[in-house]
């Protein structure tokens, strides 16, 4: 997502639409919307023929597009059919650790530099989140390209990933136990992933807290049908499948060589999805066996990655940096908190401060037997802890502890209550998201 500033300013014309019209043709506003979006993300203008394919993709995702237009006439101004701000949403599931919960996904937000500080972002996101809440969605989510703006709208960083470099020269080898457990890998034509990748990802998604369901374009890109920024065949893509003992396809990796001028010679992982631990080890054994390559670059490794513990020389595994992979925003505290699982029994009362008023209020969370009940409290009722909606988003999947957030001044309450909340919200594994949207 592209953040933008907000502030007071004149009203501008806003339109919401879907990518395809009722007659199945691309909406005439879509080409201008793409021009504005690509301008915001510093990409080249889209070919009109490409927009037709994108329209079908967006329709498959059931995306709702929003465009803000400035119709003021000025000599030489860019085409007024190209919006000054873009915004898009779709619904997909988030694995909460208790269920696959439908969530409101916010994406492709841009505001033209000439129209910053006019209140565009605040108006777009406020109206949109209220609309999502009215539609009965308990969570909203986004992937932020910058981390300094969305907290004010109640979003909190909830899941993290690491970029890693793995040395695959002579030092690369799995420990005997890991090698014995690894699945069998075969090279495949990427085209096979058009069908197999969604099936494998669905199994990964179902077992991975923090995972977000994938949009239509993922199958196109991992199969080589589309390049990352253009719906044309990607002939540089290579792929491999990992099979379990029963012969089922349990994981895949697609990747490309960075070129002979890369130093060290590097393979870049485009996507790696494993539905079983054995498939994960098998895919890495394959990557470590590619000839004429010295390093594997993967930008979405889990924070709790078993790979370095499976290597005979874990110093060949280098963490380059860690970043937030998913931001969450609770729209309905009762529905959201009841949709996840709990590792401990107990009760805690919370006051949620919400600048948009969606999740604001005082609540009692009571967990038992792995599930929880959430009930509203009277406005003046005493509570154990006070926190913002953004902090609740960070706590929701268990990716950040209440103790850490309290130490950062983000959560107020007695230490005993903080510890109690941590016991309730703790998860056996860190949340993990490999879907960008």
Is position 99 annotated in a ligand binding site? no
Q: 384: left (phi > 0), else alpha (psi -120 to 50), else beta?
A: alpha
SS3 284: helix
Is position 118 annotated in a ligand binding site? yes
Is position 117 annotated in a ligand binding site? yes
Q: What is the DSSP string of 21-62?
A: -TTSSBPTTHHHHHHHHHHHTT-PPPPHHHHHHHHHHHHHHT
Is position 137 annotated in a ligand binding site? no
Distance CA 256, CA 298 (A): 11
Instruction: Examine the residue annotation and report whether 69 is marked as an active-site residue of this protein.
Output: no
Q: Are 258 and 268 in contact (CB under 8 A)?
A: yes
Cβ neighbourhood burial of 364 (10 Å; 0-12, 13-18, 19+): middle
Non-local (6+) Cβ contacts of 358 within 8 A are 129, 130, 133, 154, 330, 331, 332, 389
> Two tokens at 116?
């910053």
Spatial CA neighbour of 152 closest among 355, 392, 408, 395: 355
Is position 110 annotated in a ligand binding site? yes
> Two tokens at 83?
């919006």
Instruction: Examine the residue annotation and report whether 155 is marked as an active-site residue of this protein.
Output: no
Distance CA 111, CA 117 (A): 10
Buried b (16+ CB within 10 A) or exposed e, 316-329: bbeeeeeebbbbbb
Is position 111 annotated in a ligand binding site? yes
Distance CA 338, CA 315 (A): 42
Buried b (16+ CB within 10 A) or exposed e, 214-234: bbbbbbbbbbbbbeeeebeeb
Is position 311 annotated in a ligand binding site? no
Q: Are 120 and 6 in contact (CB under 8 A)?
A: yes
Active-site residue, selected from the candidate residues 39, 69, 150, 155: 150
Is position 319 annotated in a ligand binding site? no
Spatial CA neighbour of 94 closest among 84, 106, 85, 79: 106
Q: Rg of the chain's alpha carbons, rounded to an integer? A: 23
Is position 316 annotated in a ligand binding site? no
Phi/psi for 361 (5° steps) reads 145, -175
Catalytic positions are 150, 437
The annotated binding site for acetyl-CoA is made up of: 109-111, 117-122, 145-146
Q: Which residues are annotated as a binding site?
A: 109-111, 117-122, 145-146
């Amino acid at each position: 997502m592209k953040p933008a500033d907000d502030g007071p300013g004149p009203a501008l014309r806003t339109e919401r639409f879907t990518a395809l019209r009722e007659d199945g043709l691309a909406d005439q506003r879509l080409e201008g919307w793409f021009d504005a979006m690509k301008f915001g993300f510093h990409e080249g203008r889209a070919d009109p023929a490409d927009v037709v394919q994108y329209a079908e993709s967006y329709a498959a995702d059931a995306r709702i597009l929003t465009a803000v237009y400035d119709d003021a006439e000025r000599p030489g101004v860019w085409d007024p059919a190209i919006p000054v701000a873009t915004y898009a949403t779709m619904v997909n599931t988030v694995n909460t650790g208790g269920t696959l919960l439908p969530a409101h996904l916010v994406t492709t937000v841009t505001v033209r530099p000439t129209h910053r500080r006019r209140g565009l972002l605040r108006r777009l996101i406020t109206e949109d989140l209220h609309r999502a809440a009215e539609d009965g969605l308990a969570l909203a989510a986004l992937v932020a390209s910058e981390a300094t703006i969305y907290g004010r709208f109640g979003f909190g960083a909830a899941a993290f990933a690491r970029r890693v470099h793995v040395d695959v020269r002579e030092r690369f080898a799995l420990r005997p136990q890991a090698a014995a457990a690894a699945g069998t890998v075969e090279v495949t034509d990427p085209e096979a992933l058009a069908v197999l990748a969604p099936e494998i990802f669905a199994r990964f998604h179902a077992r991975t807290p923090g995972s977000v369901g994938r949009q239509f374009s993922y199958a196109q890109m991992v199969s080589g049908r589309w390049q990352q920024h253009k719906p044309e065949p990607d002939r540089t893509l290579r792929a491999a499948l990992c099979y379990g003992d029963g012969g089922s396809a349990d994981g895949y990796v697609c990747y490309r060589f960075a070129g002979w001028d890369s130093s060290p010679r590097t393979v870049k992982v485009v996507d790696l999805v494993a539905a079983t631990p054995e498939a994960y080890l098998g895919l890495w054994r394959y990557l470590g066996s590619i000839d004429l390559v010295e390093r594997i670059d993967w930008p979405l490794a889990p924070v709790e990655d078993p790979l370095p513990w499976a290597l005979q020389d874990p110093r060949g595994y280098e963490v380059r940096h860690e970043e937030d992979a998913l931001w969450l925003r609770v729209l309905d505290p009762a529905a959201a908190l009841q949709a996840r699982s709990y590792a401990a029994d107990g009760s805690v009362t919370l006051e949620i401060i919400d600048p948009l008023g969606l999740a604001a209020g005082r609540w009692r969370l009571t967990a038992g037997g792995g599930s929880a009940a959430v009930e509203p409290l009277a406005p003046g009722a005493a509570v154990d802890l006070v926190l913002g909606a953004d902090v609740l988003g960070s706590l929701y999947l268990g990716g950040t502890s209440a103790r850490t957030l309290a130490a950062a001044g983000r959560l107020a309450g007695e230490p005993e209550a903080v510890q109690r909340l941590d016991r309730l919200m703790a998860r056996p594994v860190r949340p993990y998201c490999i879907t960008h949207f």
